[in-house]
Amino acid sequence: MTQVNAVEARNVVKAFGQGDNTVRALNDVSVEIRKGEFFTLLGPSGCGKTTLLRLIAGFEMPTSGTILLEGADITYLPPNKRPVNTVFQSYALFPHLSVAQNVGFGLQMQGRPKKEVDETVARMLALVKLEPMANRKTSQLSGGQQQRVALARALAPKPKVLLLDEPLSALDLKLRKEMQIELKRLQTETGITFVFVTHDQEEALTMSDRIGVMSAGKLQQVGAPKDIYTRPVNRFVASFIGETNFLSATAESGAARLGTGDLVELPGLTGSGSVTVTVRPEQVRLVDPAEAGAIAATVKTLVYFGTDTHCHLALKDGTEVVARLQSPATGEAGLAQGQSVGLRFAAGAAQIVED
């Protein structure tokens, strides 16, 4: 028996403006989001990710196409008739109400019995670890605590899908990392489908079961974080998800010849003509320049990041390659600017991407 998806968008188009001023925020987007998964829409500002989220929530209507929730057509259903909740970038809490009253507000508006409201509020506050704060005003809470209240309020009515529109962007780096772990824990414990919007690649990689990478109103690639990172389908995805090196080359049978004349083995590569080779910095290995098959390079710049050091290298034709290396231990001799080195790529790390 085929499982029904939590959310499905079919050939969705959303256009703003008219005539020559028409802008397609979404251009024929189709995606299936499975029940109980943490699905992230990732992309730069203006790529259409928030527009798609708003269509699922019912805050916008598509120009054409269909939105399904558990197989039912909700394309033109008003927001209050959809079993989904949204957590926004601004938490939109009620400052005159206590934490507990904020969490129970939606349930009260639904006319739930007081006992049920109280029990649900207690359960939600325990879930987000805010029981001691129940009677405080939200203005007395930190940013991270306010976000937890917003999450508890959104989860209290047990929505089938929880939509999250960049809810971590207002937090500082340390708190943001802590909340990434908390969000994934909440999603796992509740089993609710989370659809998360962000422009932060680290957030997407660390929390998601699957990621949909968007650009210019289109989904470029959908897949598990590891698949998208290690096997990007095009140059945009490769550059947006993590750091990478791009090298211009010419295709040969089973290899690509760089501008320096060096060959990069790529089993299965056929055809001829110009291609783009990509390889992640952590897959670049430095070796003795005299080693057979090593690609000659010169150290241009060393950038220290604590545990890692980024080594910027120049090939013979001027192409820059970045290698991410473990920083040397205290007292250990490291690389020096201007030093001649050789480099190799880890087996299977180099691949061809479409421009």
Domains of the chain as residue ranges with CATH: 7-237 (3.40.50.300), 243-353 (2.40.50.140)
**Type of residue numbered 291:** E
pLDDT by residue (tens digit) across 234-255?
999 999 998 999 999 999 888 9
222: left (phi over 0), alpha (psi -120 to 50) or beta: beta
Would you state the structure tokens that stand for residue 260, as one six-digit string?
Answer: 């320096």
Sheet strand arrangement including 84-87: 84-87, 161-165, 193-198, 38-42, 210-215, 218-223
- Rounded (10°) CA dihedral 169, 174, 177, 182: -100
- Average pLDDT of span 323-348: 85
Helix (H, G, I), strand (E, B) or coil at 325: strand
Cα 281 off chain centre by: 20
Percent of the chain, pLDDT > 90? Answer: 68
- pLDDT given for residue 33 in this prediction: 97
Q: pLDDT-based confidence at 69, cuts 50/70/90?
A: very high
- Rounded (10°) CA dihedral 237, 238, 240, 244: 180
Q: pLDDT-based confidence at 136, cuts 50/70/90?
A: very high
How buried is residue 107: exposed, middle or buried, by Cβ count under 10 Å (0-12/13-18/19+)?
buried
- pLDDT given for residue 276 in this prediction: 94
Q: pLDDT-based confidence at 2, cuts 50/70/90?
A: low
The answer to whether residue 301 scores a pLDDT higher than 90 is yes
Q: Alpha helix locations (H) across 114-270?
A: 114-127, 143-155, 173-190, 201-207, 225-230, 235-240
* DSSP structure class, residue 271: S
Distance in angstroms (rounded) separating the CA atoms of residues 349 and 143? 41
Sheet strand arrangement including 7-16: 23-33, 7-16, 64-69, 72-73
- Average pLDDT of span 8-16: 96
* DSSP structure class, residue 5: P
